[in-house]
Amino acid sequence: MSRQTLIGKSLPRPDAKAKVTGGAQYTDDIHLPGMLHGALLRSPVAHARIASIDIDRARALPGVKCVITGNDVPAVRYGNWRLVPELQDETALAVDKVRFIGDEVAAVAAVDADTAREALELIDVEYEELPAVFGIEEALAEGAPHLHDAHTDNISLTRNIDYGELDRAFEEAFHIQEDVFTTHPVNHAYMEPCSALARAESDGRITIWTSTQTPYYIQCLLARTMELRENDVRVIKPHVGGGFGGKMELRPWDFCAAWMAREIGRPVKFTLDRTEELATGRRRHAVKISSRIAFQEDGTITGKEVRAWLNGGAYNGMGPTATFLIGNFGAMLYRIPAYRYRGLYIYTNTPPAGAMRGFGAPQALYAGETQMSQAAAALGLDPIELRLKNSMTEGDEIPGVATVGSCGLKECLEEVRRISGWNEKRATLGRGHGIGVACYSFISGGVFNWFNTKYPFSSAEVRVFDDGTAQLSTLAADIGQGSDLILPQILAEELGLRMDDIRLVTGDTAACPQSDLGTWGSRVTLMAGNAVRRAAKEVKERLFEMVSLKFDLNVIHELECGDGHIYAKNKPKRRIPFGEVVAMAQRANRGEPIKATGYYTPRDCGLVSPAFSFGAQVAETRVDLDTGKVEVEQMYTVHDCGVELNPMAVEGQLEGSIQMSLGYALSETLVMQEGRTLNTTFLDYKIPVAADMPPSISKTVETFEPAGPFGAKEAGEGLACPTAPAVVDAVYDATGYCCNDLPITPEKILGHLGA
């Protein structure tokens, strides 16, 4: 019998029907008896002291049930780096100062949304405006106003990586490729705006439904900011309409809903509108990157130096992680004997930046991959050949930071060259028609900011029943990426059951094992998947003991699960239905349930990740030399995600990555003026739609990742990184213009052509 019957199969998502028919319930769809509607008062100025707040008129408005300010709640500072208290710089509502246009100042709960919004207009806030800084250079200038008293230079933190003889590498280099790049802030543009609904229970505990990708993390931070015990807060994650990193953090509406619900004894719900999301929401970091790479005459890299300045906005948020990751990804992909990185996180009076798909890698790889293509031109080498010469292979490492396990980068490059017709097209495409290449590498679950955490990185509980079914309980959060499909698929494979035999319980901190850190860093398949396998194996051992006794076998390793049965490997006709074995085990143990909890925490994997994905992408573009318009005609992608557990799911992730990355490369940007976001609707914020998507051909180079379940590793987030540099290279091939300042716009191309 075939050992793997489900792994590698393109199975449909269990939530697909509910989503396409409108049956899926999101947070804003939930209505509780007596529910009130919340609204947030936001600062209209970028930087000011709060002299006074008068809420009397708002409280007196009929229908208003509660109004709070920062003076009414605990001034507990929080942030996502909970292990580093000095980096926690946010409060739920502003206390002494506002630091960006949109900073939350007060909250109202009323009988309906219109009344809540009307009450906001009755709150009188007196601001003493302060000088503001909006860009990196302004913030670092001598005498610049500082946002936080603890950082008078506006530098929140620095991150360093340093190894090898870098000075010698540059002294002896045949060619030094030196460039400065800038990237821009972009919005996550998820379809579901953030929403939170809280209810105070009769025993004083709090239940909150929220559109989050980190339920346990919200539980921890909400308990801390409300000065409650962790288990006094229950977090429930309904369906989430996209996250992409933008729904990782505790946000003011989570806190305000919970606090106000407890204050007045009625449920309170906050739901943002699209303008709030675009104008004040988290965004991808705008970064300035200075990079230089040393090459020998044959193209061998001997050293690299990167400096990065991140515009973090008003608060740290996920900034410490981004600052480190840009340095890490700057040293990935290629063998670099000597490397130096200095990353600075800068406060400015703009909305805080946060995690977004690829987190640090899109900025780092846009700079690094554009440099590789430009260096190839300077050295007279083919861009793919230059990459092949320097590609990482299994066992390579960034000293003290990361070690590469499975790696199919070279195979990806060779295959993408073949399927794209690279050699012929690079030599024959005429002016205005270009082809470009870029590579990527990405983590399969970050470990960098969770040392000394009190819980495992991931856990899963498996319980089996005498009717031949199983239940999987996990806090791993499906935000559209498909973990609610993949984790049951892994369990069904391990237990030899059908997908229909698996019941999934997820997204509830009161019903699931309390130790999954959420969905970020492409961690769920590898980490939660390993936890599922470990729980399943423990369950199987208990069941195998019963069958071993019945069949008079010496070792349980002679048994296997499959086709709803447990059977002897060498004599598959000697089999017992799975449910019958469960019943036998329960009878033998006086009815004790057959269940197990599996845990996973990576060990001995360096500072970053237990595994890394790789890939290469080729973009073919046509540029209108009269208008500067760029049309991406074809994308070719080859990626190494280990073993594909579900090829259709991987394909969907690839297509989503290309869509998001094309927007990053060509059209999306948050237009800012003196700290104010000007494009606050989807009419003005230009995300690519289905009609803008180019044809795409994708292939997989299969490697086996020992750290991953069934050999799998990351697929989808890293693919958000190569598109922008591949398009940049293709536009350069078509026009001679290399864009070092994203996004690529017709104006920039025409400026080059005119010059």
| 508-550 tens-digit pLDDT | 999 999 888 899 999 999 999 999 999 999 999 999 999 998 8
Domain holding 211, by residue range, is 27-130+191-242+247-280
Residue 550 confidence (pLDDT): 85
Closest CA to 566 of 500, 494, 501: 494
Is there a domain that residue 232 lies in? yes
Query: Within a domain: residue 178?
Result: no
Q: Are residues 393 and 489 in the same domain?
A: no
Using CA of residue 485, residue 487, residue 491, residue 494, what is the dihedral sign? Answer: positive
Please indicate, yes or no, if residue 220 is contained in any of the structural domains.
Answer: yes
pLDDT at 452: 46
User: How far apart, in whole angstroms, are the C-alpha atoms of residue 567 and residue 560?
Assistant: 6
Are 235 and 212 found together in one domain?
A: yes
Question: Residue 444: what pLDDT?
Answer: 95
- CB neighbours of residue 726 within 10 Å: 33
Measured CA to CA, the distance from residue 626 to residue 127 in angstroms comes to: 50
Kindly give the interhelix angle for 723-735 and 361-379, rounded to the nearest 10 degrees: 30
Rounded to the nearest angstrom, the gap between the alpha carbon of residue 497 and the centroid of all alpha carbons in its chain is 31
pLDDT tens for each residue of 234-289: 999 999 999 999 999 999 999 999 999 999 999 999 999 999 999 999 999 999 99
Residue 80 forms part of a structural domain: yes
Q: Rounding to the nearest 10 degrees, give the CA dihedral for residues 575, 581, 587, 588.
A: 70
Statement to judge: residues 499 and 594 lie in one domain: yes
Sole residue written with tokens 């059209």: 667
**Do 649 and 681 lie in a common domain?**
yes
Q: How many domains does the chain have?
A: 3
Structure tokens, 487: 């984790």
Paired with 49 in beta bridges are 97, 128
Q: Are residues 596 and 673 in the same domain?
A: no
Answer whether residue 296 is part of any domain. no
End-to-end CA distance of the chain: 68
Are 390 and 527 in the same domain?
A: no
**Residue appearing with tokens 């603890």:** 150
Amino acid at the residue 483: S
Domain boundary among 553, 585, 600: 600
Structure confidence by residue, pLDDT tens digits, 389-442: 999 999 999 898 889 999 999 999 999 999 999 999 999 999 999 999 999 999
Contact 391, 409 (CB under 8 A): yes
CB hemisphere CA count around 13 (13 angstroms): 18
- pLDDT tens track for 94-123: 999 999 999 999 999 999 999 999 999 999
- CB neighbour burial string for 308-330, b if at least 16 within 10 angstroms, e if fewer: bbbbbbbbbbbbbbbbbbbbbbb
Residue 683, C-beta contacts closer than 8 angstroms, at least 6 positions apart: none
Q: How far apart are CA 639 and CA 655, in angstroms?
A: 13
The answer to the question of residue 266 being in a domain is: yes
Outline where DSSP puts E strands in 350-474. Answer: 397-398, 402-403, 433-443, 458-464, 470-474
Residues 388 and 593 sit within 8 Å (Cβ to Cβ): no
* Residues 588-603: tens digit of each pLDDT: 999 999 999 999 998 8
Residues 589, 505 share a domain:
yes
Residue 136 lies in a domain: no
| pLDDT above 90 for 176 | yes
Mean pLDDT for the stretch of residues 631-656 = 97
What digits encode the pLDDT tens for the residues 13-30? 999 999 999 999 999 999
Whether 257 and 372 map to the same domain: the answer is no
Instruction: Give whole-number Cα distances, 442 to 303, 445, 587, 640, in Å.
Output: 21, 9, 48, 10
| Residue where a domain stops, chosen among 220, 255, 280 | 280
User: What residue type is assigned to position 71 of the chain?
Assistant: N
Query: pLDDT averaged over the chain?
Result: 95
Q: How many CB atoms lie within 10 A of CB 524?
A: 28
Q: Averaged over 202-223, what is the pLDDT?
A: 96
Which of 257, 280, 303 represents a domain boundary (last residue)?
A: 280
Q: Quickly state the pLDDT bin for 83 (edges 50, 70, 90).
A: low
> Does residue 625 share a domain with residue 592?
no
Question: Which among 610, 629, 709, 696 is positioned nearest to 661, based on CA atoms?
Answer: 696
Q: What is the CATH classification number for the domain harbouring 271?
A: 3.90.1170.50
Instruction: Please tell me whether residues 521 and 617 are part of one structural domain.
Output: no
Whether the CB-CB separation of 463 and 532 falls below 8 Å is answered with no
* 594 lies in some domain: yes
Residue 447: which pLDDT band, with cuts at 50, 70 and 90?
A: confident
Percentage with pLDDT > 70 across the chain: 97
Residues 488, 377 share a domain: no
The model's pTM is 0.96
User: How many other β-carbons are positioned within 10 Å of the β-carbon of residue 342?
Assistant: 17
Q: At what angle do helices 252-264 and 215-225 cross, to 10 degrees?
A: 60
Same domain, 550 and 464: yes
CATH of the domain at 407: 3.30.365.10
The CA distance from 325 to 304, in Å, is 16
